Amino acid sequence: MLRSSSELLAITLVFCTVLCIVYCKHVVITSPKQALIGSTINVSAILYDGNKIASKSSYRFTWKNIDGSSEKSIDTSNPFCNWTMTYTKDVSHLGRQKLDVSVSEKELWLWIPVAGQIVDIMLVDTLSGGLELIQHQVVRSQDFVSTQNPVNHSIQLWPADKEFLEQNHYYVNTYWFQNCTYLGMSRDLDYQAIYPVAEQYYDIEVLIVASPYPLPEPTTSTTTTTTTTTTTTTTTTSTTTTTTTTSTTTAKPPPRLKRDTNETMHANAAILGINLVKAVREQQLRDRTNNTNQSIALINPLGVRHLSKLSPNDLPPYNCVNRSLIAMDTSKTYGFFHRRIITKTPISGFSSSGKNWLQHWEIINLQIDCKGSPPFKICTRWFNAPYNATGQESCQDYYEYETCNYNYQRYFSDSKTILFFIRNEVSESVNQVTVNIYEAKRQSQLSVVVVPIACTLVAVCLVIFGVAYYMQSRNRFTVEVADFNFGDTQSVDMEYKTFQQRLIDSMRDAWPWPRWRRYSQSSTDHIVETPSVSGGYGNGDVDSNLRYNTLN
C-alpha cells in the first residue's frame, strides 16, 4: 500500500512537471506599492500562457499574506482574479508585507499548481501623496516658480488614501509652515501665495491631521455674577437685588514663548544660510525702540503675499525645528509633506538690434537681449519670409547661456523670418525677427565719371586759352621796314655778322692798336687799306655811287 502511494505521488509530480514545461504559464499581480494601515486595497492577478493570456479553464487563485493575517481561495473559469483586502490596525504591523498568490488548474479530479508570484506592499501609518506647485494651471515638475503669478500649493493624496478618508468621513485639518514659520490652519488641501522676490529659497512644510471627529470650534467663556443684598428692619423689609451682568470673553492666544521664538529664528537662519547673531545686531541697530529679541526677517523672511486665508491656531501639533509631532493620537491619521520653492523671474523685454535690410553679399548680425533669471536656453529656427508664428512651432537644439545677451550671425541668400525660442526654468517665449534681402542696382563710382570729364574740360580750356593768347600776341607784333641812306658807300660792303663777331669788332675799335688791325676781317679795313685808283678817268666817285645804287 505504501509503495503504491509513493508511485502515485511520483507520477503526479512528473505529470505536473510535464505540464509546467508544456504550458509555461506564469501569473502577474497588480497591486499598490504601499498602503495605509486600516485601509482597503484592491489587487488583481492575470494568468499568462507564454506571451498571451491563458484560455478559460477551471482555475483556483489562492491569496494569502505571508504573516498569515488573511488567506482566501477563489475558484473561477477566467484566467484572472480580483481580491479586496483590509489591513486592520489591530492585526497588521507596519513595514514590508508580502502578498502571495498561487494559481492551480483542475485536471480531471486533481488541482495542479501552474503558477505563483509574491509581491511586496509597504504598510505605512501616514498619508501618502505629494505637494504640487501649480501656476497657470500647469504643475511645476521642479521646484522653480515664477515671481509674477500666484502659486497654488496643492496636496494630492494617493487615490486609495483619499478614498479611505472619504469612506470613513474623516475631518481634515491642514497646518502650513513656511521656513519653519507657522502660517495657520485650513480645512482644504491647497493654499495660494505670491513670491515676489527672485532667486530666493522657501521651505514649505504641510501637516495633515485626519480625525474621525471634527475639530472643536473656538469657544467663548460666559461669566454670570449675581449679587443679592437683603436689609431687614423692624418696620419694613427692603430687598435689593443687583442686576445680573453677563460678560463674554474670548480667549486670547498666549504670548509666544521666547524659547520657541529663538528655536524658530535659529531654524530660519540655518535655512537661509545667514549668521543669526549678526542679523539680530543689525536688526537692533535699525530699530532700537523694539524691546524684543527677534528679527522679523527671520520669523517671516522675504514678505510673501498670502492669498489664502488661514485660521490661526495657538499650538500646532508639529515642531518644525526637529520635524516631529508634539502629540500623536492613535485615532487620527497624519500626513507630512515637504517641498522647496525657488523663485525665478520669467523672460521679458525681448529686443533685437541690427540691420534688417541687407544686400546679397552682407551677413546677418543681430544682437538679441532679454530679461529674466538665468540660466537661459536659446534655440533658433528660420522660415521663408513672409511668415507669421502660430505658436505651434517647436525647436530641438537648445544652447545654454548665463546671460540673455546673444549674438546671431548667419548668411542667407533670400529673405527669412527667424524665430528665437528662449526659455528659463519658469517661462518660455517665442519671438520672430524678419530679415529682408534685396538686390541693389549697380552704379559706377562717382570718381570714374567725374575725373575724366573734369580733366577733359580742363584740357579744352587750356587749348582755347593758348590759342587765344597766341592770336593776341600775333596781333600785337608789328614789322617795320626802314630805308636809310647815310651817304656812305661803306654800307655796300655790309655783311651779316654774329654777335661774337660784332663784339670782337667793338673791342678792336675801342683799342686802336696796329696789332689788332692785322686780325680784323672787316670789309671796311680792306677798303681803307686798298689804295685808291685815280686814273686819268677819275672813276673813283662813279664806282662808289654804283655800289650805293646797287645796294638800293
Q: What is the CATH number of the domain that holds 83?
A: 2.60.40.2410
Phi, psi of 134 (to 5 degrees): -120, 130
**Same structural domain for residues 338 and 282?**
yes
User: What average pLDDT does the structure give for the chain?
Assistant: 74
**Same structural domain for residues 265 and 318?**
yes
How large a percentage of the chain has pLDDT more than 70?
64
Q: Given this model, what pLDDT does residue 429 score?
A: 92
**Same structural domain for residues 352 and 340?**
no
d(CA 283, CA 287): 6
Most confident option among 63-67, 252-256, 331-335 = 331-335
- Short-list 382, 441, 387, CA closest to 410: 382
- For cell 685808283, the residue is 533
Write the pLDDT tens digit of every residue in 199-210.
999 999 999 999
In the predicted model, what is the mean pLDDT of residues 108-137?
A: 89
Question: What confidence tier does 513 reach under pLDDT thresholds 50, 70, 90?
Answer: low
Q: At what angle do helices 258-272 and 276-286 cross, to 10 degrees?
A: 110
Write the pLDDT tens digit of every residue in 166-189.
988 999 999 999 988 888 888 889
In the predicted model, what is the mean pLDDT of residues 380-400?
A: 89
**Same structural domain for residues 149 and 290?**
yes
Q: Given this model, what pLDDT does residue 50 score?
A: 84
**Same structural domain for residues 210 and 267?**
yes
Domain endpoint, select from 64, 96, 120: 120
Give yes or no for a contact between 524 and 516, defined as CB atoms under 8 angstroms apart.
no
Give yes or no for a contact between 421 and 408, defined as CB atoms under 8 angstroms apart.
no
- For cell 678817268, the residue is 537
**Same structural domain for residues 267 and 328?**
yes
Q: Given this model, what pLDDT does residue 184 score?
A: 87
496 belongs to a structural domain:
no
Q: Residue 373 burial (CB < 10 Å; 0-12/13-18/19+)?
A: buried
296 belongs to a structural domain:
yes
Q: Given this model, what pLDDT does residue 4 score?
A: 60
Q: Given this model, what pLDDT does residue 523 score?
A: 45
**Same structural domain for residues 327 and 397?**
no
Q: Given this model, what pLDDT does residue 540 score?
A: 45
**Same structural domain for residues 339 and 359?**
no
**Same structural domain for residues 337 and 352?**
no
Q: Given this model, what pLDDT does residue 65 score?
A: 84
The three grid cell numbers given for residue 250, joined into one nine-digit string: 474670548
pLDDT at residue 411 above 70? yes
Most confident option among 212-221, 310-319, 537-546 = 310-319
How many Cβ atoms from other residues are within 10 Å of residue 178's Cβ?
A: 23
Q: Given this model, what pLDDT does residue 373 score?
A: 93
Q: Higher-confidence residue: 45 or 440?
A: 45
Q: Given this model, what pLDDT does residue 309 score?
A: 66
How large a percentage of the chain has pLDDT more than 90?
28
- The DSSP call for residue 484 is -
Q: Given this model, what pLDDT does residue 297 score?
A: 37
pLDDT at residue 315 above 70? no
223 belongs to a structural domain:
no
**Same structural domain for residues 197 and 275?**
yes
Angle at 276 between CA 271 and CA 279, to 5 degrees: 110
In the predicted model, what is the mean pLDDT of residues 527-546?
A: 44
53 belongs to a structural domain:
yes
List the CATH number of the domain containing 408.
2.60.40.2470
How many Cβ atoms from other residues are within 10 Å of residue 421's Cβ?
A: 19
pLDDT at residue 303 above 60? no
The count of structural domains within the chain is: 3
Q: Given this model, what pLDDT does residue 498 score?
A: 84
Most confident option among 3-7, 193-197, 255-259 = 193-197
14 belongs to a structural domain:
yes
In the predicted model, what is the mean pLDDT of residues 44-51?
A: 90
Q: Given this model, what pLDDT does residue 283 score?
A: 44
Phi, psi of 191 (to 5 degrees): -160, 140
* Most distant pair of Cα atoms in the chain: their distance: 230
Q: Residue 9 burial (CB < 10 Å; 0-12/13-18/19+)?
A: exposed
How many CA atoms within 13 Å lie on the side-chain side of 293?
Answer: 12
**Same structural domain for residues 432 and 368?**
yes
pLDDT at residue 253 above 90? no
Q: Given this model, what pLDDT does residue 205 score?
A: 92
pLDDT at residue 372 above 90? yes
pLDDT at residue 549 above 80? no
pLDDT at residue 278 above 70? no
d(CA 549, CA 360): 97
**Same structural domain for residues 301 and 428?**
no
Least confident of 338-347, 396-405, 472-481: 472-481
How many Cβ atoms from other residues are within 10 Å of residue 180's Cβ?
A: 23
pLDDT at residue 454 above 50? yes
Domain endpoint, select from 97, 120, 143: 120
321 belongs to a structural domain:
yes
Least confident of 126-140, 175-189, 212-226, 317-331: 212-226
In the predicted model, what is the mean pLDDT of residues 254-283?
A: 44
Please give the residue range of the domain that contains residue 332: 129-216+260-344
pLDDT at residue 61 above 90? yes
- What residues contact 133, with CB distance under 8 A and at least 6 apart? 139, 140, 143, 145, 151, 152, 153, 339, 341
Domain endpoint, select from 387, 414, 438: 438
Q: Given this model, what pLDDT does residue 220 score?
A: 40
55 belongs to a structural domain:
yes
88 belongs to a structural domain:
yes
